[in-house]
Homo-oligomer: A and B are copies of this chain.
């Protein structure tokens, strides 16, 4: 089969053996925003023509490719959802090389009735289920929009999203805080100071201003203030999530996941790193369902 993880800014393709082993892999900076005029089939073919020519099927995709801005909208499945519910909600697209399948995103509503959404992460979680402890688990998927999901009995019960990564990027690039930062390697001491600050009273909007004042008074150099800001934001995320201790599985890109593991450990959690390739396993599980 062919597994495609197709997001906003990146495209990753995997050719898998029937047992799920990765035979070949490719990636390109060909996220859905880089595909013009809806030419998704051409984009896909340009990347994996040789695999298709050998007859490899099915093609199963997840991520923003199933959003309104993608190839075809795959409506969100609703929590609680496991492999069965997500497989059932897959959407087929037909093109001149046959058919391909797109996984739906997932949605849930909180106590106030406000919706949350994920698209792509639900397949990563499906792929990680076998690595979780029996029963119930918390999974943190760090990123531009960090997700925290609750899994019980191999189903995603509910989740919530935090704009941690995007607020960091936007404040660094466009606010007065960024103007006093210089590019520098990550500084763990400054990051930890930011985590600690987030435990104080005063709220995030106040703690953000503190990045500036600590700079003004020489408490924080321009090289370290980016790491401090990152600590403040991740610290506020941890303070806001519904779980404050115990085992948390971390699933995401390597560097960011390492940062979260460190943050979780200093805040009293027991972090456990999951294989960042879980999406491949998740897509292979979905492909297996198609054949039934």
| Residues of A in contact with B (beta carbons under 8 Å apart) | 110-112, 114-117, 145-146, 160-164, 166-167, 170-171, 173-176, 197, 200-206, 208-210, 213-214, 216-217, 219, 233, 236-237, 239-240, 242
Contact = CB atoms under 8 A, between A and B. Distances in A.
B170 A175 contact: yes
A236 B114 contact: no
Given A112-B197, A114-B213, A213-B114, A206 B161 contact: yes
A116 B213 contact: yes
A171 B206 CA distance: 16
Given A115-B219, A170-B174, 7 more contacts: A115-B213, A117-B213, A146-B205, A161-B209, A163-B206, A173-B174, A204-B236
Contacts of A209: 116, 145, 161-163
Given A166-B176, A175-B166, A197-B114, A233 B205 contact: yes
Contacts of A216: 115, 117
Given A174-B173, A175-B170, A200-B112, A162 B117 contact: no
Contact of A208 (B115, B163, B200): B163
Contacts of A206: 160-163, 240
Contact of A240 (B205, B213, B240): B205
Contacts of A217: 115
B170 A203 contact: no
Contacts of A237: 203, 205
Contact of A202 (B110, B164, B170): B110
A203 B236 contact: yes
B205 A163 contact: yes
Contacts of A110: 200, 202
Contact of A214 (B115, B166, B203): B115
14 contacts: A112-B197, A114-B197, A114-B219, A115-B213, A115-B214, A160-B202, A163-B205, A163-B206, A163-B209, A170-B174, A203-B204, A204-B204, A204-B240, A205-B233
